[in-house]
């Protein structure tokens, strides 16, 4: 069974731009969670989607948004990029709500904002 | 707001057992202990989880104290590929709360 895939793997953007990251969960998994990882803040939860509905949200500004499609694929969008948004963005999938089942992480998208 | 405390770093000789401690003194009755690890530049990898009984799988063993306030992850025969940051997390099994990662323990396996 294929693992979680994320595209693109690397991305360079400039301040003020917006970016969309994509995540394809493991086949059959219905929950997708997004995390931001930076050296200073560690791994921080962004949001979780289950059956196309946002079920949980972390403490990030409204510039960070996401959505999930009927095939469980998910996208996250960051508008008006800031230098501090440079990070590794990780997506994780699980067969049920993330609290109930172990999560499987993708390799991440490394975003650099200049 | 992580609910766990782990030592920031540990070393272990290759071939020996690596024992990683975790304190979770405020754990509640319906919360499980989960362990993940993250090898450099990769996404975190699920290792094991447990409630109150000791658990073992092909990767590791999890020992939870009787009062459930602490646990130990054991890698029985550490290899160089086990060098990673190990995260201990507590959360309810059927909870709706987000997965909260602390700072973890950076385990270095010494050849």
DSSP conformation letters of B25-91: TT--TTEEEEEEEE-TTS--EEEEEESSS-EE-SS-EEEE-TTSSEEEEEETT--GGG-EEEEEEEE
* A105 vs B contacts (CB less than 8 Å): 43-45
What's the pLDDT at A100? Answer: 59
pLDDT at B96 exceeding the cut of 60: no
What's the pLDDT at A24? Answer: 97
Quick: pLDDT tens for A18-33.
999 999 999 999 999 9
**Of A6-20, A88-102, B21-35, B91-105, which one has max mean pLDDT?**
A6-20
* B42 vs A contacts (CB less than 8 Å): 107-108
Q: How many angstroms separate the CA of residue A55 from the nearest CA in chain B?
A: 8
C-alpha pair distances (Å), A104 with each of A25, A27, B60, B78: 9, 12, 17, 23
Percent of chain B with pLDDT over 70: 92
What's the pLDDT at B107? Answer: 98
- What is the residue whose two structure tokens read 């994509």? A22
Distance, CA of A56 to CA of B45 (rounded, Å): 21
pLDDT at B75 exceeding the cut of 60: yes
What's the pLDDT at A99? Answer: 58
Which of A34, A97, A99, A106 would best serve as a mutation to test chain B binding (most B beta carbons within 10 A)? A99
Average pLDDT value for residue range A70-96: 95
Residues present in chain B in total:
111
Q: Residue A50: closest CA among chain B residues belongs to which residue?
A: B96
Distance, CA of A68 to CA of B64 (rounded, Å): 37
Q: Any idea which of A24-28, A57-61, A66-70 has the lowest mean pLDDT? A: A57-61
pLDDT at B3 exceeding the cut of 90: no
Average pLDDT value for residue range A36-56: 88
Quick: pLDDT tens for B35-74.
999 998 788 999 999 988 899 999 999 999 999 999 999 9
Average pLDDT value for residue range B90-108: 77
- In eight-state DSSP terms, residue A11 is E
What's the pLDDT at A96? Answer: 74
Distance, CA of B62 to CA of B67 (rounded, Å): 15
What's the pLDDT at A75? Answer: 98
pLDDT at A42 exceeding the cut of 60: yes
8 Å CB contact between A20 and A91: no
Residues present in chain A in total:
114
* B92 vs A contacts (CB less than 8 Å): 99
Average pLDDT over chain B, rounded to an integer: 90
Which of A26, A37, A40, A43 would best serve as a mutation to test chain B binding (most B beta carbons within 10 A)? A43
Average pLDDT value for residue range A86-90: 96
**Of A54, A64, A76, the residue nearest A7 (C-alpha):** A76
Distance, CA of A82 to CA of A6 (rounded, Å): 22
Q: Residue B91 — pLDDT band, cuts 50, 70, 90? A: confident
Q: Which helix (H) or strand (E) holds B2?
A: none
Distance, CA of A45 to CA of A33 (rounded, Å): 8
Q: Which candidate from A48, A102, A106 shows the least CB-CB separation from B98?
A: A48
Q: State phi, psi for A103 to the nearest 5 degrees.
A: -100, 145
Average pLDDT over chain A, rounded to an integer: 92
């Amino acid at each position: 069974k294929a693992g979680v895939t994320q595209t693109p793997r690397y991305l360079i953007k400039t301040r003020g731009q917006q970016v969309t990251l994509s995540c394809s969960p493991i086949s059959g998994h219905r929950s997708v969670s997004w995390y931001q990882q930076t050296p200073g803040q560690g791994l921080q939860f962004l949001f979780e989607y289950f059956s196309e509905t946002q079920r949980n949200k972390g403490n990030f500004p409204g510039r960070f948004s996401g959505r999930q499609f009927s095939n469980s694929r998910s996208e996250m969008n960051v508008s008006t990029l800031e230098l501090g948004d440079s990070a590794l963005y990780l997506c994780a999938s699980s067969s049920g709500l993330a609290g109930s089942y172990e999560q499987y992480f993708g390799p991440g998208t490394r975003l650099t904002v200049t | 707001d992580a609910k766990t405390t782990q030592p920031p770093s540990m070393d272990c000789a290759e071939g020996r057992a690596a024992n990683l401690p975790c304190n979770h003194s405020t754990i509640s009755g319906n919360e499980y202990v989960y362990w993940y690890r993250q090898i450099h530049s990769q996404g975190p990898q699920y290792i094991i989880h447990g409630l109150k009984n000791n658990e073992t799988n092909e990767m590791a063993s999890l020992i939870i104290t009787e009062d459930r306030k602490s646990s130990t992850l054991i890698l029985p025969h550490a290899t160089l590929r086990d060098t990673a940051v190990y995260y201990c997390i507590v959360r309810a099994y059927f909870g709706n709360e987000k997965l909260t990662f602390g700072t973890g323990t950076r385990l270095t396996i010494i050849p």
